[in-house]
Structure 1
Amino acid sequence: MKIGIIGGSDGLGKTLIYYFRDEFDVTITARDHKKGREVADELNVKYIESNKQLAGMSDMLIVSVPINHTPQVIREVAPFMKKGSVMVDVTSIKEEPLKAMEEYLPPNVEYIPTHPIFGPRTTELDNQIIALTPTKKGKWYPKVYSYLAGKNMRIIETTAEHHDYMMSIVQVLTHFSFISTASAMAKLKVDINETENYESPIYNLMIDMIARIVSQNPYLTYYIQSMNNNGKKIRKAFNDAVDELREAIDNNDDEKFVEIAMKATKNMGDIQNALGRSDKAITALSHEYSLLNESVGREIALKHIYSGKVHVGVLEKVDGKTATLDNGTKLRIANIKVLSDEELYQWKVNNIKWKKQSISCVFSENVTPNIIVETLANVEDVLDVVLTDIYQGPQIEKGYESLTFEVVALSKEALKNVRTILTGFGGVLR
Structure 2
Amino acid sequence: MKAGIIGGTGRMGQLFRPVFERAGYETLVSGRSTALTNVQLAETCDIVVVSVPIRDTVRVIGEIAPVMRDDQLLCDFTSLKVAPVAAMLRSKAQVIGLHPMFGPTVSSIAGQTIVVCPARSTDAALDYLAGIFTREGAVCTLATPEQHDRMMAVVQGLTHFVTICMADTLRRMNTDIRATEAYMSPVYQIELGLVGRLLSQDPALYADILEQNPFVPEVLAACRSAVGDLETIVKTGDPDAFAEFFMQDTRHLGEYCKRGQDLTDALIECMVKK
For residues 57-83 of structure 1, what are the alpha-carbon distances to aligned partners after superposition, in whole Å with 9 as ceiling and x for unaligned?
A: 111111001112111111110112255
1:142 aligns with 2:127: yes
2:137 corresponds in structure 1 to 152
Match of 2:229, SS state, is helix
Q: TM-score, normalised by structure 2?
A: 0.93
Deviation at 1:18, TM superposition (A): 4.2
Alignment identity in percent?
A: 31
Q: 1:187 aligns with which of 141, 156, 172?
A: 172
Preserved CA contact (<8 Å) 1:59 1:82: no
Preserved CA contact (<8 Å) 1:90 1:116: yes
In terms of fraction of residues, the more helix-rich structure is 2
1:76-155 matched pairs, under 5 angstroms: 76-102=63-89, 104-106=90-92, 109-138=93-122, 139-155=124-140
Deviation at 1:193, TM superposition (A): 2.0
Preserved CA contact (<8 Å) 1:27 1:48: no
Preserved CA contact (<8 Å) 1:53 1:80: no
Deviates more, 1:159-168 or 1:258-267: 258-267
The one-letter code of the counterpart of 2:236 is N
Give unmatched runs, 5+ long, in structure 2.
Answer: none
Q: How far apart, CA to CA, are the structure 2 residues paired with 1:212 and 1:19? A: 26
Deviation at 1:197, TM superposition (A): 1.6
1:217 aligns with 2:218: no
The one-letter code of the counterpart of 1:283 is E
For residues 364-408 of structure 1, what are the alpha-carbon distances to aligned partners after superposition, in whole Å with 9 as ceiling and x for unaligned?
A: xxxxxxxxxxxxxxxxxxxxxxxxxxxxxxxxxxxxxxxxxxxxx
1:1-400 matched pairs, under 5 angstroms: 1-22=1-22, 23-31=24-32, 33=33, 47-102=34-89, 104-106=90-92, 109-138=93-122, 139-270=124-255, 271-287=257-273, 289=274
The one-letter code of the counterpart of 1:118 is F
For residues 256-300 of structure 1, what are the alpha-carbon distances to aligned partners after superposition, in whole Å with 9 as ceiling and x for unaligned?
A: 22221111222223211111111111112222x2xxxxxxxxxxx
Q: How far apart, CA to CA, are the structure 2 residues paired with 1:50 and 1:190? A: 48
Structure 1 vs Structure 2 CA RMSD? 1.6
Deviation at 1:21, TM superposition (A): 4.3
Deviation at 1:2, TM superposition (A): 1.3
Q: TM-score, normalised by structure 1?
A: 0.60
Q: How far apart, CA to CA, are the structure 2 residues paired with 1:55 and 1:273? A: 45
Deviation at 1:130, TM superposition (A): 0.7
Aligned length: 271
The one-letter code of the counterpart of 1:54 is L
Preserved CA contact (<8 Å) 1:58 1:82: no
Preserved CA contact (<8 Å) 2:30 2:38: yes
Give unmatched runs, 5+ long, in structure 1.
Answer: 34-46, 290-430
Preserved CA contact (<8 Å) 1:57 1:82: no
